Amino acid sequence: MDTYKAFWLCSLMLAGFAVTANVLTVGPGPQCDFDTTVGETLQQAIATGNTTEVRLIDGYIYSGGLTISQPIKIIGGYATCDDAAQNIPNPNSSAKSILSGQSNDRVIELLNCTQGTVELQQVRVIDGNADSLAVPRGAGINTTNSSCHLRIEKSEITNNIALVGSGVFFDGLGIGSVFIVDSIFSNNRTSNSGRDAQGGGLYSFSSVTVVGESGFHHNTSGRGGAIYIRGDRYPGDVSLTIIGGSDPTNTGFSHNSVTGFLNGSLGGAIYLSDITNAQLTGHRQSINGITYGDDINPLKFEQNTANGNGNRGGGIYMTRSSMDISNSLFFANSAGTGGAIAYDSMDPNTSLNISGRPERCWRDQGCNAFIENVASGGGAIWGINQARGYVQNSYFTGNTANTGTSFAIASNAVFVLENSVIYQDTQNATLNQDRNIIHTSGAAFTTMYSTLVENNAVESVFNAVNGNSGHTVLNSIVYNDAVIAIADGNVSSQFSCVLTDRPGNQMIDITPTEYNALFVGVNNQNFRLLPSAVAIDSCEDVSVSNSGYDIQAIPRGYDFPGVNNSSGSFDAGANEFDDDLIFIFGFE
């Protein structure tokens, strides 16, 4: 900075204009407070006095190696320094400034920042390198001895490489947190397959919130291809909140992957350990008075992978953590086990809950969809070691696995499926593949008020092996290819009011003609019951039911006057017949 500029800044501060003086511009040309054409730098602006905000020029490349030790805003995308000085927005809303490590340096280091928030807006953090034992983490953004919060808004974190936490490595010392809004993490990768290869996009010991038009795409690591969060480093709760956006192209998680980790690669998109509360939703939701999401577009996990033996959770892997998922889509994710989700609990006080608000779902029947996910065990969902799962208002189709195309649970896991549809699950019904739809091994699975039809497994719909294992099936429709059994294995299952083509104790035998008269339109995935359906008023209430509503928010137990219900007024299957009445949480 030349002598005149230093004198000018000091004069402003002495004259009482400290707020103005604390906002600096950096770019090429003498109109900028710091002129890069004469060797002045962004780092100098950041370190000047009590600087609170630095404004940058659209498209200009600023060198990385930046150190930030105080709360500050760095805002890019201005057309000129004159516009930046007057805070005139760029007409191009996608304009961004570039902060580059030039493939040989870390881009940003938060060092000894102990209070407040560091904010990055409309910048691209690119080409950071922390690929050495001396500098092993946080190629894009790293924290050292810092408890400041980090906010990333309308920005991109891309093409960074490190041993761990390539895009962002965040350690908030149990105090700081990360807030990401309208930002994209892409093509970040960890550089080895050892025990530290974790968090391709983001590694955090602190709570993380991701909202708006944010997405994680094509990030790669050994564990947690996009996001890796550990909650056991400091006392207190650590949470993850993700609210989907309205842009169906860029939001969500796609093409993230894990591979090569020494003890098994876990979590193609997300890895969570010891997280008290994780909430992932495509529903509209407000944070601090600002509403994110639109109910119309689901939170998406698409084509994420954790392939190979011992690799788990193509979309999500979680252990010693609790998670709520709603209004979501898991499509074509793949893994060794748990194509979409792998849940290795190891703590019976944690749980996986998948549900949604039926009156605000992105699809007509089922707030969550699991489509064409692939694994050796648990094509869609895999749970083990006391995992507790409750899945409702969900739709499964086209998933494939050797055992359990939709679910495989084991080792004292307990799962409940309610108000859900499994339709034409399985992709390749061949020997040693797609053997069953729901598999348990030393675990318990309850299916209630659900519709499982036209599935084409090789052996059975339900399969149970090993002691203390089995299925309870209540008030459901289970009608599938005639060559497969409804249940097999060495542990007997219990059935009550199950409409099926495979008659047995406590089952209701239905003919092909009766099946064809059940639904409004199976080929269009419309499983509403026709007025003539034998499933109407065929069952007593299931006392263990938690929701009281069907897959479309219609109250259970509507007594259709056109049916002489000898057993009860509750319908079998995912849908309760409503006789064209509108029942939505008390509204008629």
pLDDT of residue 208: 99
Q: How far apart are CA 221 and CA 166, in angstroms?
A: 9
Across 225-248, average pLDDT: 96
Q: How far apart are CA 488 and CA 298, in angstroms?
A: 36
pLDDT of residue 16: 37
Beta bridge partners of 343: 318, 383
Residues counted in the chain: 588
Give yes or no for residue 80 having a pLDDT over 90: yes
pLDDT of residue 7: 41
State pLDDT tens for residues 448-477: 999 999 998 888 999 999 877 889 999 999
State pLDDT tens for residues 5-16: 544 444 444 433
pLDDT of residue 566: 67
Answer with the residue of higher pLDDT: 50 or 41: 41
Give yes or no for residue 588 having a pLDDT over 50: no
Across 384-413, average pLDDT: 96
Say which range, 13-27, 259-273, 361-375, 475-489, has the weakest mean pLDDT: 13-27
| Tokens, residue 166 | 């390539």
Answer with the residue of higher pLDDT: 483 or 187: 187
pLDDT of residue 544: 66
State pLDDT tens for residues 110-136: 999 999 999 999 999 999 999 888 899
pLDDT of residue 216: 99
pLDDT of residue 399: 96
State pLDDT tens for residues 303-322: 999 976 689 999 999 999 99
pLDDT of residue 350: 93
- At residue 481 the predicted structure's pLDDT band, cuts being 50, 70 and 90, is confident
User: Is the Cα torsion angle 244, 248, 250, 253 positive or negative in sign?
Assistant: positive
- At residue 487 the predicted structure's pLDDT band, cuts being 50, 70 and 90, is confident
Those residues with Cβ within 8 angstroms of residue 470's Cβ, 6 or more apart along the chain or in another chain: 440, 444, 445, 464, 491, 492, 493, 494
DSSP-derived secondary structure for 430-487: -TTSS-EEEEEES-EEEEES-EEES---SSEEEEEESTT-EEEEEEEEEE--TTSEEE
Beta bridge partners of 354: 325, 391
Q: How far apart are CA 290 and CA 556, in angstroms?
A: 35
User: Is the Cα torsion angle 193, 194, 195, 199 positive or negative in sign?
Assistant: negative
Across 133-142, average pLDDT: 94
pLDDT of residue 578: 83
Give yes or no for residue 382 having a pLDDT over 80: yes
State pLDDT tens for residues 328-362: 999 999 999 999 999 999 999 999 999 998 889 99
Q: What does each C-alpha distance from 167 to 71, 122, 200, 274 come to in angstroms?
A: 20, 16, 6, 22
Contact 499, 461 (CB under 8 A): no
| Tokens, residue 391 | 């899945």
State pLDDT tens for residues 408-437: 999 999 999 999 999 999 866 554 588 999
For tokens 């340096």, name the residue: 105
For tokens 């805002």, name the residue: 75
Q: How far apart are CA 297 and CA 295, in angstroms?
A: 6
- Residues 132, 134, 136, 138: what is their CA dihedral angle, to the nearest 10 degrees? -120
Across 391-409, average pLDDT: 96
Answer with the residue of higher pLDDT: 199 or 307: 199
pLDDT of residue 9: 46
- At residue 562 the predicted structure's pLDDT band, cuts being 50, 70 and 90, is confident
pLDDT of residue 8: 43
pLDDT of residue 194: 61
Answer with the residue of higher pLDDT: 523 or 183: 183
Across 503-530, average pLDDT: 89
Across 75-79, average pLDDT: 99
Tell which residue, 32, 20, 23, 86, has the closest CA to residue 57.
32
Answer with the residue of higher pLDDT: 21 or 181: 181
DSSP-derived secondary structure for 286-331: EETTEEE--SSS-EEEES-EE-STT-B-SSEEEES--EEEESEEEE
- What are the helix and strand counts (H, E) for the chain? 5, 56
Contact 163, 131 (CB under 8 A): yes
Which H/E stretch holds residue 271?
strand 270-273
Strands 305-306 and 239-243, by their bridges, are unpaired
Across 576-582, average pLDDT: 70
Give yes or no for residue 94 having a pLDDT over 80: yes
Across 163-180, average pLDDT: 97
Those residues with Cβ within 8 angstroms of residue 60's Cβ, 6 or more apart along the chain or in another chain: 27, 28, 36, 97, 98
pLDDT of residue 17: 35
State pLDDT tens for residues 254-313: 999 999 887 889 999 999 999 989 999 999 999 999 999 999 999 999 999 997 668 999
